[in-house]
């Protein structure tokens, strides 16, 4: 009998979006300010035919046709499926936003966020706070699935283990999702209190898989290398993986994951020259992404205008300001020195980036264990902010005000 990753993949509950089945059960997690069209295009070049989710948008902002939100919902001309994560706590608002997205054929797949631990969201009863109140959760899910179903658009959900170790909700949440017609569920195996600290508790993914029948269960948390995905799936029995921080500065991880899950050989860590070539491509994709897109920030000050290099367009300058955070992630694990990191963190044009790259030794190798160095958020634990008395009446069906949350979130 065949054994190993290739055999186990045949036994998984398949992920489907309409008539689309991904080449492997791998999903890019939506990350604010990261998983825009440029980054997704880069990831797709390494791992085609997978599921790549756009960064989260707010249902209220979609329904109000907020300009910034509309521009965030950008997909490549060749991108399929078009997956979008949406956040909302009011069933009517969420249903309206989902209906608009489907009627106007803007998406092929909608993912719901029930895991956001940000204080400005949870203190209004939204995000990671929603699953603690099952009646509210059921109403939201029923509204979203009901609005999307006539258009054949599947709805999925991503959530955490719970608010704290004393308020664990992942099993109940998964069962409610299954009852309400959700296509698949993904568990970030941390609590909201844990935030991004410590290790993801993969055993919770296994518990969820054992407790929920009929829909695929995906695992999320601490997949830094392709071998981690194989290990997670073997240890928990989950049907697929969701990749977040592990792909920051490592967009080729999706190709490595496809190789690993099919039983193929995964390439060794890339040399610095290969990394720099991807950096240059990413920067150019971002510049193209911002070309023609209005700048939604406050009007630039005289000092900021003076800092734009001569011959650099506003779009490219804006793209490079966005790209600066990526330089740290790309260089993580490579002994390039603090001066290079500082210069990269101030880069202002693609040409300047390429000049910096030319000064680096392309044969430099990653330090041992470099792929496992944390990239992105690492803070925690945190105190979970909740409305007064929130945990005293978990049977309540009181709905948070999405317009207030949108204002607090700068949406």
Residue 81, preceding peptide bond in cis (omega within 30° of 0) = yes
**Parallel, antiparallel or unpaired: strands 162-164 and 167-168:** antiparallel
In angstroms, the CA 34 to CA 249 distance is 11
CA-closest candidate to residue 49, choices 29, 22, 25: 22
- What's the angle, vertex CA 382, arms to CA 376 and CA 388, rounded to 5? 135
Q: How far apart are CA 185 and CA 141, in angstroms?
A: 12
Q: How far is CA 63 from the centre of its chain?
A: 22
Rounded to whole angstroms, the Cα distance separating 290 from 318 reads: 7
Contact predicate 20/52, CB 8 Å: no
With contact defined as beta carbons under 8 Å apart, do 194 and 340 qualify? no
CB 328 within 8 A of CB 373: no
- As a whole number of angstroms, the distance between CA 73 and CA 94 comes to 16
CB 160 within 8 A of CB 221: no
Half-sphere exposure of 377 (CA within 13 A, CB side): 19
Q: What is the 3-state secondary structure (H, E, C) of 166-199?
A: CEECHHHHHHHHHHCCCCCEEEECCCCCCCCCCC
Is residue 127 within 8 Å of 87, Cβ to Cβ? yes
In the residue annotation, 116 being an active-site residue is answered as yes
Beta strand pairing call for 155-160 and 167-168: unpaired
Residue from 116, 177, 238, 276 carrying the catalytic annotation: 116
Residue 393 CB-half CA count within 13 A: 8
What residues are labeled active site?
116
């Amino acid at each position: 009998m065949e054994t190993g990753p290739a055999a186990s993949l045949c036994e998984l509950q398949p992920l489907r979006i309409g008539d689309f089945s991904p080449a492997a059960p791998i999903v890019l997690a939506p990350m604010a300010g990261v998983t825009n069209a440029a980054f997704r295009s880069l990831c797709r070049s390494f791992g085609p035919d997978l599921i790549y989710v756009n960064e989260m948008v707010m249902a209220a902002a979609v329904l109000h046709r907020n300009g910034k939100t509309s521009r965030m919902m950008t997909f490549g001309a060749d991108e399929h499926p078009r997956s979008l994560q949406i956040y909302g706590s009011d069933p009517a608002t969420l249903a309206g936003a989902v209906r608009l997205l489907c009627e106007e054929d803007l998406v092929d797949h909608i993912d719901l966020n029930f895991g956001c631990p940000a204080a400005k969201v949870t203190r209004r009863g939204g995000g990671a706070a929603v699953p603690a109140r099952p009646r509210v959760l059921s109403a939201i899910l029923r509204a979203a699935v009901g609005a999307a179903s006539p258009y054949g658009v599947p709805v999925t959900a991503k959530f955490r283990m719970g608010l704290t170790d004393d308020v664990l909700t992942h099993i109940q949440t998964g069962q409610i999702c299954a009852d309400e017609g959700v296509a698949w569920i993904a568990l970030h195996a941390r609590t909201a209190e844990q935030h991004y600290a410590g290790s993801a508790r993969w055993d919770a993914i296994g518990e969820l898989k054992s407790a929920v029948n009929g829909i695929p269960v995906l695992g999320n948390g601490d997949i830094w290398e392709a071998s981690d995905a194989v290990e997670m799936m073997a240890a928990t029995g989950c049907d697929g993986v969701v990749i977040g921080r592990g792909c920051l500065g490592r967009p080729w991880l999706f190709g490595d994951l496809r190789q690993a899950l099919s039983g193929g050989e995964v390439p060794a860590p890339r040399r610095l020259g290969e990394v720099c070539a991807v950096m240059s491509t990413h920067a150019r994709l971002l510049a193209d992404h911002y070309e023609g897109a209005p700048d939604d920030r406050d009007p630039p000050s005289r000092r900021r205008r003076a800092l734009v290099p001569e011959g650099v367009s506003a779009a490219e300058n804006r793209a490079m300001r966005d790209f600066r955070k990526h330089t740290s992630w790309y260089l993580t694990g490579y002994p390039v020195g603090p001066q290079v990191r500082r210069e990269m963190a101030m880069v202002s044009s693609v040409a300047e980036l390429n000049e910096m790259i030319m000064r680096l030794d392309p044969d430099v190798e990653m330090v041992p264990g470099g792929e496992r160095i944390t990239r992105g958020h690492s803070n925690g634990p945190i105190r979970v902010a909740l409305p007064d008395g929130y945990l005293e009446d978990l049977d309540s069906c009181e709905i948070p005000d999405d317009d207030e949350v949108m204002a607090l979130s700068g949406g």
